[in-house]
């Protein structure tokens, strides 16, 4: 698939295009040659975050006064799409969770003091952030969380646990959702807190071995009478559910962008492979069924990309895009499943060998119909607005 296929659906300005080209060069030159080692180690080294911070990639959505670039959702889209072209989903998730899903809460709703303390270091890649919402009994069902924070003098006492947390093992700053009013409606009884790694009572439990995303560290967290100061609260008490819901739209946009980037790269790699791979006396590309399958996947990818850019445009304009982003999360992430499995099939036995890009991308893709709002939950969000 050629890049030109998508250029007519590209609403980016010159600054956005410069960011895209810089990211693409960085991924090709600095990520792809090193990322196999990160898959083995199970995490992305700190030096990579610092590199990306120095290049300005980690703070594109954060205010300029705190070290960011002050850009909008289109910047997040570009980041997700270009990092995903690396074919390493774990690396991509670790970076985007840090840049767009965790400390983003501080940028959006934090106090000036919180922004001063955390954002410059987060933008520079000196600290790594994690977002802690999911619990064993409360994944997509945020309202069912049981982790709680109670008033303790001038501060708070935090108890509970979180699971499946990206950057959970090697992170530094954790944005933790907790119930602060057990008697209130779930949408009014949840608050967000900043918890630093070395806070007494905060422990990292299991580091999970995962089916995919192997270069991201994913852990289980426990909070046992963790004492937090009053200024650990982000924004207003009881508004956490709304803060989370607002950030979910950006998270789902990034997931769609990652899906589009992976689809695009998978089709590029597979097209090159079938043009070179001979079977029954001719390249596989000469078989109409092979060409048609790739053309069908390219068509769905183009549709997903157009939908992604339209949702980003709506978000940039401040429009209500909950229905559209929910549709997008379903369509883009489900399209990715079809594309990577189709591309693996066209690679034949090679596609089943661990370490090949298509094999890795197929494993990594699976989580995207689950994380950030499962397909079934997203379809209910759409149905509510029909």
pLDDT tens-digit readout, 158-182: 999 999 999 999 999 999 999 999 8
17/3 Cα distance (integer angstroms): 13
How many CA atoms does the CB half-sphere of 195 hold within 13 Å? Answer: 36
Nearest to 214 by CA among 90, 98, 94: 90
Q: Provide the number of structural domains found in the chain.
A: 3
Structure tokens at 382: 């759409």
Residue 345 has pLDDT above 60, yes or no: yes
Q: Which among 187, 215, 238 is the end of a domain?
A: 238
**One domain for residues 312 and 280:** yes
**One domain for residues 255 and 380:** yes
Backbone angles phi, psi at 320, to 5 degrees: -70, 110
Catalytic residue among 135, 220, 251, 324: 251
**One domain for residues 122 and 216:** no
**One domain for residues 45 and 171:** no
**One domain for residues 294 and 222:** no
**One domain for residues 210 and 275:** no
Average pLDDT of the chain? 94
Print the domain residue range for 145.
Answer: 130-238
The reply to whether 251 belongs to the active site is yes
β-strand partners of 227: 157
What is the structure's pLDDT at 4?
Answer: 47
Backbone angles phi, psi at 191, to 5 degrees: -130, 165
What is the structure's pLDDT at 144?
Answer: 80
**One domain for residues 282 and 378:** yes
What is the structure's pLDDT at 141?
Answer: 73
Please tell me the chain's helix, strand, coil percentages from 3-state DSSP, rounded to the nearest 5: 55, 15, 30
Concatenating the DSSP letter of every residue in 209-258 gives --SS-TTS-EEEEEEEEEEE-GGGEESSTT-HHHHHHHHHHHHHHHHHHH
The verdict on pTM exceeding 0.85 is yes
288/328 Cα distance (integer angstroms): 30
261/278 Cα distance (integer angstroms): 28
**One domain for residues 101 and 134:** no
**One domain for residues 16 and 122:** yes
**One domain for residues 138 and 228:** yes
CATH number of the domain to which 339 belongs: 1.20.140.10
Q: Write out pLDDT tens, residues 36-92.
A: 999 999 999 999 999 999 999 999 999 999 999 999 999 999 999 999 999 999 999
Residue 224 has pLDDT above 50, yes or no: yes
CATH number of the domain to which 211 belongs: 2.40.110.10
Note the Cα 233 to chain centre separation in Å. 24
**One domain for residues 193 and 314:** no
Give the CA dihedral 259, 85, 361, 217, nearest 10 degrees: -90
Q: Which among 101, 128, 155 is the end of a domain?
A: 128
Higher local confidence (pLDDT), 14 or 196: 196
**What is the pLDDT confidence band of residue 187, given thresholds at 50, 70 and 90?**
confident
Q: Which among 194, 223, 238 is the end of a domain?
A: 238
**One domain for residues 107 and 164:** no
52/237 Cα distance (integer angstroms): 34
């Amino acid at each position: 698939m050629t890049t030109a296929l998508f250029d007519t659906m590209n609403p980016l300005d010159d600054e956005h295009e410069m960011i895209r080209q810089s990211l693409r060069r960085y991924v090709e030159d600095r990520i792809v040659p090193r990322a196999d080692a990160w898959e083995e180690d199970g995490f992305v080294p700190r030096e990579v975050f610092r590199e990306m911070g120095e290049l300005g990639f980690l703070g594109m959505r954060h205010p300029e006064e705190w070290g960011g670039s002050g850009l909008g959702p289109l910047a997040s889209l570009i980041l997700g799409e270009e990092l995903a072209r690396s074919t390493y989903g774990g690396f991509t998730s670790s970076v985007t969770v840090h840049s767009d899903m965790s400390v983003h809460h501080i940028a959006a709703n934090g106090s000036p003091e919180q922004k001063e303390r955390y954002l410059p270091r987060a933008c520079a890649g000196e600290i790594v952030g994690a977002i802690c919402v999911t619990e064993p009994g409360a994944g997509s069902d945020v309202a069912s969380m049981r982790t709680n924070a109670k008033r303790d003098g001038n501060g708070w006492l935090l108890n509970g646990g979180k699971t499946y947390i990206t950057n959970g093992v090697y992170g530094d700053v954790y944005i933790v959702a907790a119930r602060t009013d057990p008697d209130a409606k779930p949408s009014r009884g949840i608050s967000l807190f900043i918890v630093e790694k070395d806070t007494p009572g905060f422990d990292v439990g299991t580091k999970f071995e995962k089916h995919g995303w192997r270069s991201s560290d994913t852990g289980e967290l426990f909070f046992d009478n963790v004492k937090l100061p009053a200024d650990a609260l982000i924004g207003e008490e009881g508004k956490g559910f709304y803060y989370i819901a607002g950030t979910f739209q950006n998270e789902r946009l990034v997931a769609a962008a990652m899906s589009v980037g992976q689809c695009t790269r998978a089709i590029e790699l597979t097209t090159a492979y079938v043009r070179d791979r001979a079977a029954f006396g001719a390249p596989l590309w000469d078989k109409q069924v092979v060409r048609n399958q790739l053309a069908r996947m390219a068509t769905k990818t183009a549709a997903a990309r157009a939908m992604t850019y339209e949702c980003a445009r709506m978000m940039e304009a401040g429009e209500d895009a909950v229905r559209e982003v929910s549709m997008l999360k379903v369509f883009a992430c489900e399209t990715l499943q079809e594309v990577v499995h189709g591309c693996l099939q066209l690679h034949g036995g090679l596609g089943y060998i661990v370490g090949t890009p298509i094999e890795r991308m197929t494993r990594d893709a699976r989580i995207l119909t689950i994380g950030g709002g499962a397909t079934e939950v997203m379809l209910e969000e759409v149905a509510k607005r029909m």
